[in-house]
Every structure is written in C-alpha cells, then in structure tokens.
Amino acid sequence: MNNLYRNFSSVSLYFVISILITLAVYSIPKDSFSYGKSIDREYVEYNSDDYKNIEDSELETTNLNQNDSEYVAYDNVGNKNIEDSELETTNLNQNDFNIIAISDVGCSLRAQENIKNIEEKDPELFLVVGDLSYEKTPDCWFDMTKSLDSKTKIAIGNHDSYEEEGITGEKLKNAFLDHYGMNSSYYSFDYQNVHVLVMDTQLELSVDTLESNAKLTEKVSAKPKSKVDLEKTEPLLGRYPEIPIKDLLQEESVDIKIPKLKKYLELNSLVPDIKVDKKQYQFVLDDLKKTSNNKDIDWIIVMLHKPLYSSLSKQFEEYIVRDKYQGIFDKYGVDLVIQGHNHIYSRTLPLMFNKLDISQPVVDSSTSKDDVTFTNPNGTVYLVVGLGGEEIHRIVDNPDYIANYYNDGFGFLDLNIKDNILDGTFYDINLNCQVKITEKKKKETIDLKSCLPSGNEKPKIIDQFTIKKNQTSTDEKNTLEHQQLQSKKN
C-alpha cells in the first residue's frame, strides 16, 4: 500500500510540474523566440506592365518555401521590411546559393533523367531558357517539374508559342504565363544579390525567323502547300502579310551585314511582315539602368532563348538581336547571358560589342581559352545550355571567342554564388548514349533511343569556370584615401 501511494504521489507531482512549465512557456511573448529555419527562397518580381508589381502603399510578401511558414516582406523599392522584433533566421548565409539553368527540354526519358539530377542538386532557382514541353499542351512539363515548380522561372522559346501550335498559337504560351504567374513574357526579378532579366526573343526580329520563312523565288511549285500544311510548317506566313525583306529591314532600322541572309537580300525575297514589340526594348533599357545603380546587386544575369553568341550549329547567331541589345548589356555591366535554341553547350570568353564589325566581338585581352578564372572581366560571358533533353545538334565550327563547347550528351548548368564569386559548372548526366552513322550523309550522330540511365554513375563535369569581382575592404579604402590626402599636402 505504501508503494502504491509513493507511485501515485510521483505521478501527481510530475503532472503538476508539466502544467506549470507549459503555462510559463505560453506566457512568454512570441517575439522573444529566435527561429532558426533557413530561408530557401527570396526574390522580388517585376513585370513589363507595371515596373514593380506593387503599389506604393503595399508590401509584397514572397513565400520563401511552400513547406515553411517563414516569409520575407519587401517594401515598394525592394528593401526588406523586417523589424528587429520579427523572425530571426540564424542559419541563413545570405549570399551562398545555387542556380540551375537548362533549355530545349521536352518530356522524353532523357529530359526526365535530367530533371531528376537537377532535383538532387536542390537549387534555390531553376531557370528554363525556353522550349519546355515540345507539345501543344504544357501538361507533361508541369507534371515532370512539379517538385521544382515554386523555384522555376522561364523564358519563352519558339516551341512555346505559335511554332508549336500553328497560326493561332497563343494558348500554349498563355498556359505557361498563367501557370508561373507572369503578366508578360519579359520581366525581371531579384534573388538575394542577383538580378535576373528575362527577355522574349519571339518578340524580336531575328535572323532565324527571317531565314526559315523567306521565299527564295516566286515560282509556284507543282504541288503547292495547302493552307493547313502552310500553317503547320511556316506559321508566320499565314499569320502576317508578306513584305520584301529589304523593306522590312529598313522599317526596323537594320543596316548591318548579315551573311546568313545574303542570298535572300540578293533576291529581295518575301518574308512575313513581323511586328516587333517596341516595349520590350524600353523595358530592358530601364530595368538595367535601374539595376546598375542598386548597391545590393552584385550580379546581373540575362536569360533569353535565341543566342547572340554560340558555337556554329543548326541555329544562327542572332546578329540583329546582338546589334540591338549587346551595347546595352555592356553599358550596364551584365555578367552572364544564358541562352538556348542550339541543342549544344557552349561558353564564350568575356565579350563586348564591336561596332565596326558585328561578327567579331571585342574579347577581353587579359583572357585566353585556357583561362577558367576571370577576375573583374571586361565583358559578358555568353552561355548556351540547350542539352535539356531534345535531339542534339551538330557543332559545325567554333569562332575564336568560344572557350568551351560540348554536344555528346545531356545535362545542365549549375551556378554557385557566394558574395562576389560565381562558380559555373556544366554537368553531363551520364546517360548511356551510343553513336550511330546516318544513312544519307554518313555522319556520326547520337542514337537518342540508346540514351538510357547508365546505373549509379554520378553526373560528370564537362566545363568549369569562375568569375570573381574584387571588393576593396573599408580599411584599404581608408588607407588609399589617407595616402591621397598626404600626397596632396606634400
């Protein structure tokens, strides 16, 4: 009986103590706690319709991770609006994160394996540089990338618009815009110390579009294409009236030499009278000008589909887009331009625009093809990341400004950023691709059906590069100022 009483007393005492502790905890103000969950994602988004998608009197609150309860609030100029008494995140290294970029993906087994490898890298941002599903609906893409959905930012490619659907092809593009909450196909956003500007090259006059739709002759073929066939193969010819190519280039103030269009210019071939979106140019100009004055931004990345610079492959380097925009990129210090359209990987040396000869960019004289580290480079590095999962294109040649290139497999670009250092790595996901000989031209090509997972092998590194920006310390600045003052006195 005494043992039973002692046991009962112990339980009762434990119960009373538990209640007192619980009451004490709940009586502590909530602001007294320090929350240690790390923030996975933060960015401020801009669009072309209202330069900042936020009223002066509002606060924009961005969900940092759908599985977490933490939020970061921004005011109308993009500054964090967190008071000292609010949530404190002790495990966050503000400028240490990774961004992954791919293009020309599709929904094949190759693409699915690529996405699996990207998921394992757990990026803070997932940039898709156009040509997502390669189907008339985006459903397979959304299903394949659902785990990355909240981290995804896209650029529109030619297979995300009318080229996939035909003459009335706006449903596919609008489906992508709606899903990712985009008011426009060109926009920008900040993520920590990085600013990303996304452009839509489908809204520009491009060499690729003119060449693929130009008519070499007015001669009527024996079997003219039906309206249905025309809309499927040359949707722009059904979408716009025709105009002589010289007239169109004059209308758009294009007066540069474009070797790829030489034969069409000689015949003054008919091309679609494409209407260029004038607002995108002004948006790019305003956005980069504003960003260049933002002391919180260390890196500026531009994302667009059709490449300004690339290894020479199936698709052309876009001279017209290069002539229009590269000078702006140079002026406002764009660090990287990430591109697609060619189903290859390529990386340039740091380049600047050459007004005297558009075909020969100015290469940073302090660099060479053997360099993999660039400190305060004088120019922009242009990358093509088109090995997302669709067919692979042949590389015909490499201009002198191409530092590295690859087209023997599928993979992705991984950018790791820590403060003023950016490390780039392109990975091949190690599918067991076999080479075959084509019947007609007897050339080697990748047998896509053979590209299956090879087992437990990890992605292999194809290319690595580093960009560093020197930051003078406060002590160094003070010493320099002191020396300057002393020299003036003397």
> What pLDDT sits at residue 236?
65
Q: CA distances (Å), 262 to each of 44, 214, 246, 257, in order?
A: 44, 12, 11, 8
> What pLDDT sits at residue 163?
66
For residues 256 and 319, give the distance between their C-alpha atoms in angstroms, rounded to a whole number. Answer: 8
> What pLDDT sits at residue 485?
53
Asked whether the CA dihedral 341, 343, 348, 350 is positive or negative, the reply is positive
> What pLDDT sits at residue 222?
46
> What pLDDT sits at residue 375?
96
For residues 426 and 347, give the distance between their C-alpha atoms in angstroms, rounded to a whole number. Answer: 10
Other CB atoms within a 10 A radius of the CB of residue 30 amount to 8
Q: CA distances (Å), 421 to each of 278, 401, 416, in order?
A: 35, 23, 8
> What pLDDT sits at residue 34?
32
**Which is it for strands 152-154 and 125-128: parallel, antiparallel or unpaired?**
parallel
Task: List the pLDDT tens digit at each of the 490 positions of the chain.
Answer: 555 444 545 545 555 555 554 544 444 443 333 333 333 333 444 444 443 333 333 333 333 333 333 323 223 333 333 333 333 333 344 568 999 999 999 999 999 999 999 999 999 999 999 999 999 899 999 999 999 999 999 999 999 986 666 555 688 999 999 999 999 999 999 999 999 999 999 999 999 989 988 887 654 444 555 544 444 455 565 678 899 999 999 999 999 999 999 999 999 999 989 889 899 999 999 999 999 999 999 999 999 999 999 999 999 999 999 999 999 999 999 999 999 999 999 999 999 999 999 999 999 999 999 999 999 999 999 999 999 999 999 999 999 999 999 999 999 999 999 999 999 999 999 998 888 887 777 777 888 888 888 777 789 999 999 999 986 543 444 454 455 555 555 5
Per DSSP, 343 falls in state: S
For residues 409 and 391, give the distance between their C-alpha atoms in angstroms, rounded to a whole number. Answer: 10
For residues 141 and 161, give the distance between their C-alpha atoms in angstroms, rounded to a whole number. Answer: 15
Helix (H) or strand (E) holding 9: helix 2-26
Residue boundaries of the structural domains of the chain: 96-204+277-475, 208-272
Q: Which residues of 94-104 are buried (b: 16+ CB within 10 A; e: fewer)?
A: eeebbbbbbbb
For residues 180 and 162, give the distance between their C-alpha atoms in angstroms, rounded to a whole number. Answer: 19
**How far does Cα 399 stand from its chain's mean position?**
24
> What pLDDT sits at residue 68?
35
- The CA-based dihedral angle spanning residues 304, 310, 260, 212, taken in that order and rounded to the nearest 10 degrees: -50
pTM (2 decimals)? 0.77
Other CB atoms within a 10 A radius of the CB of residue 462 amount to 18
CATH T-level assignment (fold) for domain 96-204+277-475? Purple Acid Phosphatase; chain A, domain 2 (3.60.21)
Question: The tokens of 430 are what?
Answer: 């190690």
**Which is it for strands 460-468 and 421-428: parallel, antiparallel or unpaired?**
antiparallel
User: 300 has which bridge partners?
Assistant: 195
Question: The tokens of 127 are what?
Answer: 């940039």
For residues 204 and 252, give the distance between their C-alpha atoms in angstroms, rounded to a whole number. Answer: 10
Q: What residue type is assigned to position 170 of the chain?
A: E
> What pLDDT sits at residue 187?
98
Other CB atoms within a 10 A radius of the CB of residue 142 amount to 18
Q: What phi and psi values does residue 262 have, to the nearest 5 degrees? A: -55, -50
Q: Which residues of 145-169 are buried (b: 16+ CB within 10 A; e: fewer)?
A: beebeebbbbbbbbbbbbbbbbbeb
For residues 407 and 386, give the distance between their C-alpha atoms in angstroms, rounded to a whole number. Answer: 9
Question: The tokens of 106 are what?
Answer: 């599709």
User: 47 has which bridge partners?
Assistant: 187
Q: What residue type is assigned to position 31 of the chain?
A: D
Contact 325, 285 (CB under 8 A): no
> What pLDDT sits at residue 483?
57
Q: What residue type is assigned to position 434 of the chain?
A: Q
Place of tokens 């979408």: 239
Contact 119, 147 (CB under 8 A): yes
Q: CA distances (Å), 287 to each of 147, 191, 453, in order?
A: 30, 15, 42
> What pLDDT sits at residue 487?
57
Q: 214-217: long-range contacts at Cβ-Cβ below 8 A with a sequence spacing of 24 or more?
A: 214/245, 214/261, 214/264, 214/269, 214/270, 214/271, 215/242, 215/269, 215/270, 215/271, 216/263, 216/264, 216/267, 216/269, 217/267, 217/269
Helix (H) or strand (E) holding 126: strand 125-128
